[in-house]
Structure 1
């Protein structure tokens, strides 16, 4: 049995882990690389193996960095089955269609504006490519064992990260392999706490926040203060947000603040068509989250939900103070760019960063104090107030990751630390060694291990 790390090694994007056993190939996640250019360029490279030789893809959840390379995989010959939970299937469809649309639009803009370095800018994949993935989906229920092969079985258990997110246990050749996926928080506003593994010979553990402890923040009070301070200056609050789970969590918290009469009566806008569509996924998958029907209806009434891009233009040029939640969460694309083109150079603007920002993304650059930022081929001075609320992260922090390992009945042969940049992964390795004395390895991109 052999494992090869094709992505998500030394980085928080592009998750792809290949397991080979007795002629069967299983790919856990098939994510798109984001962030710095050398990583993004990997999206255009073929896999080191033929996609047609992969028998199964198992998706932990529907975020782009875990599912966003599926159209390329199918386009290059994959004909197997893609197993995931029902919410993950619905979210992945939305994510892929949205990603394809954004890439097509970005390519068209680059060609029209002639700011691409290529003679003709092309999207990584288009909407037809995204739709070609859908026939390969197969639904697996939480905690239900399925047989992939005569000697290979899989079980999906709740990971608490976003709607439908799961850890995956593979049993093959008498060994138990556990893939954490992205681990959520025990005290998340909307998601249930992740299920901890009891048995594993090999663990593949995410390390996104392997070197950080989330601060004990009063998230509602911070939102209240930032909104009221910005309103007093006549400014606009822009919250770049992941459309899945994060946007809905922020909506819920803002609704609570409004109900408590703690924030002003100004327009509150959801400007992410995908984020609006995800509300339907919440409605159709009630057992996966804590939000009641009554709260969902009341919450939604507070917001202007914008799907039409002409309305986006109208909102951008409306001078009255407002709060805008717009995708994407790392400011790598989407409608939030249109708002930032207008507002990032205004001192009365506040931009609230509410999630992990991968290396090289605009979000990371803003947090690191960039004085100007490039959007669609043009540089803009950063004069807006850039703030961060870490308490809204959907990832477990170092303590949460350690706690996730705490119920194992016996010591695994090895823990592979993946889906993290090198320093967080190494600091988590040290903590795991100190607390559990587990043997940890931090794989490099493309590295192979015999299990």
Structure 2
């Protein structure tokens, strides 16, 4: 074989399950190894065969620690993968945290499904267990950014920070003298706690995310918008519930809410509860890496956390729910797919005085998407709950670059890529971005299809060494 072929095993015409397989004459490299989330037809793919034996994959390069990028790792290891998994140091710590939480939630969901008999499977089983997650950690190989890592005679790569969350990176992979860029999830240029995404000036092929390929986050001041929403809610003695990804969004929210208090834009004594053991742990990890990977100092990060009650004990959760005083609750998960946020949602969503604030992307089929689409009810643990609370969305707090920011990222290339391949986006977003790139930049763009082989190039002078 003298061909270099790209195959998307996930995140092709959808925003979830990121797995991009680069098949080369020397190595089979998997960029990201995420779980499918959202609608049932997507989640069911987690249980299906990958189409390649795990022991045929030589290594994994992980762009960041969100579940849709790392959540399949324990299952791949369980099925026989034994290669190295490269990532940055913060990503390594955060991925361990997220994978243990994922396993725990799956174990709890299976237990609840069996207990309350809302499953078609008898018995329901978790996709993987905590022991499976722990078994995968020995393959983690943390690396520094901007350092070339040699993988074989003709392949090396390096990480470049891309914003989005702590430790998140794009990947520049040099393969048989061709440069292949995997963007990962590109962050915002004006994050309040993370530096702007780094960029590349040359590439032959770019595999690029397109989550917000059809949308702009707007230029309005989200500080004012957020303060107004909070003040209106507490004026009617309601609570503000913010479903948030425990890694990334929760830490940025703490900064923003602390700023609003300091500026007296919201009451200084308004309780802020961050109810997520994982967010608490992610915050501690962030503190360790603040000076190196964040745009605010360790001291500033510590100071802003003093204004937040961080809860890890579920018994306290019940107490916060029963407390009738107005408060802001930040709880995972960000798409309302599981976790403690569901306990709050059960009690808050039926009360018109409360507000559910959506601040991140909500995948198709999630409760978060249902709320944005003005569903009159949501199903939680087999029971329906009427939606009477106000549902608000502030796009300016998103961790994903919008269409304009994605276009600006592409414009940094001084040498035009031979081809851009779009992944990690829903069809309408991908088509809008495809047309935008082709119209304004005259670059060839392809939208990846799941499991479709795309020939990037051939290594004409490569000779296979006999074993």
State how 1:215-234 maps to structure 2 within 5 Å.
Answer: 215-234=218-237
Secondary structure, in 3 states, of the residue corresponding to 2:224?
Answer: helix
Question: Which residue does the alignment assign to 2:349?
Answer: 344
CA shift digits 1:319-361 (9 cap, x unpaired): 2111100000011111100100111111111000000001111
State how 1:97-112 maps to structure 2 within 5 Å.
Answer: 97-112=100-115
Secondary structure, in 3 states, of the residue corresponding to 2:411?
Answer: coil
**1:284 matches 2:250:** no
Question: Which residue does the alignment assign to 1:262?
Answer: 265
CA shift digits 1:21-79 (9 cap, x unpaired): 11411000000000111000000112101001111100000000000000110000000
State how 1:13-412 maps to structure 2 within 5 Å.
Answer: 13-264=16-267, 265-285=269-289, 286-412=291-417
Secondary structure, in 3 states, of the residue corresponding to 2:421?
Answer: strand
* CA distance, structure 1, for counterparts of residue 438 and residue 252 of structure 2: 34
Unaligned runs of 5+ in 2: 457-467
Shift of 1:262: 2.2
Secondary structure, in 3 states, of the residue corresponding to 2:312?
Answer: coil
* CA distance, structure 1, for counterparts of residue 334 and residue 249 of structure 2: 9
Q: Does the 8 Å contact 2:287/2:302 carry over to 1?
A: no
Secondary structure, in 3 states, of the residue corresponding to 2:85?
Answer: strand
Bigger shift: 56-65 or 410-419?
410-419
In the superposition, the TM-score normalised over structure 2's length comes to 0.95
Secondary structure, in 3 states, of the residue corresponding to 2:256?
Answer: helix
* CA distance, structure 1, for counterparts of residue 444 and residue 249 of structure 2: 34
Unaligned runs of 5+ in 1: none
* CA distance, structure 2, for counterparts of residue 219 and residue 244 of structure 1: 21
Shift of 1:139: 1.3
CA shift digits 1:170-214 (9 cap, x unpaired): 111221110000001111111111111111111001000000111
Shift of 1:136: 0.2
* CA distance, structure 2, for counterparts of residue 283 and residue 409 of structure 1: 36
Please give the root-mean-square deviation of Cα atoms over the aligned residues, in Å.
Answer: 0.9
In the superposition, the TM-score normalised over structure 1's length comes to 0.99
* CA distance, structure 1, for counterparts of residue 287 and residue 324 of structure 2: 34
Secondary structure, in 3 states, of the residue corresponding to 1:287?
Answer: helix
Shift of 1:295: 2.0
Secondary structure, in 3 states, of the residue corresponding to 2:92?
Answer: helix
CA shift digits 1:136-186 (9 cap, x unpaired): 011111000010111110111011111110000111122111000000111
CA shift digits 1:355-395 (9 cap, x unpaired): 00011111001000100000010000000000000000011
* CA distance, structure 2, for counterparts of residue 136 and residue 297 of structure 1: 32
**1:438 matches 2:443:** yes
* CA distance, structure 1, for counterparts of residue 194 and residue 160 of structure 2: 13
